[in-house]
């Protein structure tokens, strides 16, 4: 081995701390005491339940080998590409089977998120190393040597299971070439053939339900569809039926629809009626007016529902409001489909189960939302403006305005001092 580079894959021989808290502590204790080798208790992990989407180990191994082969191509292409041919041939012969090249390939063989690939590589790295240095010449196919012969994860194409048994139809042509053999190429699976549409049988060597043999020879079978309702047929025409699908009856090599509604085959609820369809039937709900029915609409009722009455051949709504059915004062009746309800008359509303007259609010004045203190201030401002205006005119020497000013002051003073003046002015401001 070259000592130029050692990747984690080749450090198995060096003592490494085991994973986990307890094993690591015991390992450290053994080194501290100078014991000849690490001593720890191997704790068995709980069994893991396999995920339904987890790939089969064979598929993981195949992907690992494919990635390994791509790495071989990449390392040759990146390291040699022209120039001194003699020099390259000499160097290439040394690099081709070197540990350095193997390390470079293994470093990129698994993606970071592919846990299954990393786990398989860790388990098989010694086998890969052995193949690289000792087995390449006698076993050039790494997939066959590693995945099938050594790890026994895979089987040859056309075989399945722990013993690599041939699939139905033979390993050369599993499932006749018209289906997929379950577990093919792996050490698992049942070997059951999942046939393509139109094919059936253990090895997909027959035509399936609703198909007929249009062509057959020693190696091929062509299956074509029968006419719609035919389960088995001798050809594509309507008159080629040999067996009918469910809901159909064979009559003179033709499949005729069975009317389940006219027989006892239909099973519908008490408030439903039967409607025949091609090859089957439907149960639909009766009209609201019916208690049981023979078809759609109020004219097909067996009996009328409460709130309905028979009028001729139909069940029609009863108008309960024609009778005195609302005893409350100021109530009136409103008819509904199959029933009625009592509501308050116009201008009334219901309060605690009684219809009372609605109160119409009085129209509000412009200053109706003002507080008492705001009204007092507004009154004082109003009187002040009037007095100031009259005083201004009187100061000009006009005797008429002077007399009016003196009279207004005397009158306003009297009203101001009286309780009535507040109510009068407040009513004036509020629009009363």
What ranges do the domains of the chain cover?
Answer: 56-74+93-154, 157-225, 226-257, 272-317, 321-357
Q: Quote the DSSP letter at residue 324.
A: -
The sign one gets for the Cα dihedral 367, 372, 378, 383 is positive
287-341: pLDDT as tens digits = 999 999 999 999 999 999 999 999 999 999 998 888 877 888 888 888 888 888 8
Judge whether residue 134 has pLDDT over 50.
yes
pLDDT of the residue at 308: 93
Least confident of 85-94, 144-153, 193-202: 85-94
Judge whether residue 390 has pLDDT over 70.
no
Write out the two tokens for 226: 């029968």
Most confident of 4-8, 204-208, 216-220, 366-370: 204-208
pLDDT of the residue at 402: 67
pLDDT of the residue at 424: 56
Residues 251, 232: contact at Cβ < 8 Å? no
Q: What is the mean pLDDT of residues 54-68?
A: 90
Number of H helices, E strands in the chain: 9, 20
Buried b vs exposed e over 194-216: b needs ≥16 C-beta within 10 Å? ebbebbbbebbbbbbebbbeeee
pLDDT of the residue at 396: 64
Judge whether residue 259 has pLDDT over 80.
yes
In the block, residue with structure tokens 């001092």: 417
Q: What is the mean pLDDT of residues 216-233?
A: 94
- Is 380 strand, coil or helix? helix
Q: Is the pTM of this model over 0.75?
A: no
More confident residue, 380 or 145: 145
Return d(Cα 7, Cα 17) in angstroms, integer: 17
Query: Is 321-357 a CATH 3.40.210 domain?
Result: no
Buried b vs exposed e over 404-427: b needs ≥16 C-beta within 10 Å? ebeebeeeeeeeeeeeebeeebbe
Judge whether residue 237 has pLDDT over 90.
yes
Return d(Cα 356, Cα 31) in angstroms, integer: 97
Judge whether residue 343 has pLDDT over 70.
yes
Judge whether residue 385 has pLDDT over 80.
no
Residues 189, 183: contact at Cβ < 8 Å? yes
């Amino acid at each position: 081995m070259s000592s130029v580079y050692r990747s984690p894959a080749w450090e198995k021989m060096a003592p490494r701390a085991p994973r986990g808290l307890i094993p690591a502590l015991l390992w450290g204790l053994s080194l501290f005491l100078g014991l000849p080798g690490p001593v720890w208790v191997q704790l068995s992990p709980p069994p893991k339940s396999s995920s339904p989407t987890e790939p089969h180990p064979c598929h993981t191994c195949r992907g690992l080998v494919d990635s390994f082969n791509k790495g071989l191509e990449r390392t040759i292409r990146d390291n040699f590409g022209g120039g001194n041919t003699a020099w390259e041939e000499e160097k290439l012969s040394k690099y081709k089977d070197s540990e350095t090249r193997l390390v470079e390939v293994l470093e990129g063989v698994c993606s970071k998120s592919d846990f299954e690939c990393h786990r398989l590589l860790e388990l098989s790295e010694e086998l890969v190393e052995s193949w690289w240095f000792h087995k390449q010449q006698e076993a050039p196919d790494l997939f066959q040597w590693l995945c099938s012969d050594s790890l026994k994860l895979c089987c040859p194409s056309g075989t399945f299971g722990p013993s690599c048994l041939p699939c139905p139809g033979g390993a050369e042509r599993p499932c006749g070439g018209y289906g997929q053999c379950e577990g093919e190429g792996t050490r698992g699976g049942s070997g059951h053939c999942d046939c393509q549409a139109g094919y059936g049988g253990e090895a997909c060597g027959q035509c399936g339900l609703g198909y007929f043999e249009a062509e057959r020879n020693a190696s091929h079978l062509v299956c074509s569809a029968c006419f719609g309702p035919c389960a088995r047929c001798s050809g594509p025409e309507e008159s080629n039926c040999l067996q009918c699908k469910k809901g159909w009856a064979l009559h003179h090599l033709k499949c005729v629809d069975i009317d389940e509604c006219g027989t006892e085959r239909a099973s519908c609820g008490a408030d439903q009626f039967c409607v025949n369809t091609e090859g089957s039937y439907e149960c639909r709900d009766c009209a609201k007016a019916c208690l049981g029915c023979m078809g759609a609409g109020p004219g097909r009722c067996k009996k009328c529902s409460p709130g309905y009455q028979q009028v001729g051949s139909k069940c029609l709504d009863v108008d309960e409001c024609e009778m005195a059915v609302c005893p409350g004062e100021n109530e009136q009746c409103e008819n509904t489909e199959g029933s009625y309800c009592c509501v308050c008359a116009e201008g009334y509303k219901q309060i605690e189960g009684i219809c009372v007259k609605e109160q119409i609010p009085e129209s509000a004045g412009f200053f109706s939302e003002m507080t008492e203190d705001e009204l007092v201030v507004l009154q004082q401002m109003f009187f002040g403006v009037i007095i100031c205006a009259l005083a201004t005119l009187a100061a000009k020497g006009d005797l008429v305005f002077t007399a009016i000013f003196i009279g207004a002051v005397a009158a306003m003073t009297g009203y101001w001092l009286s309780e009535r003046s507040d109510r009068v002015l407040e009513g004036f401001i509020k629009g009363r």
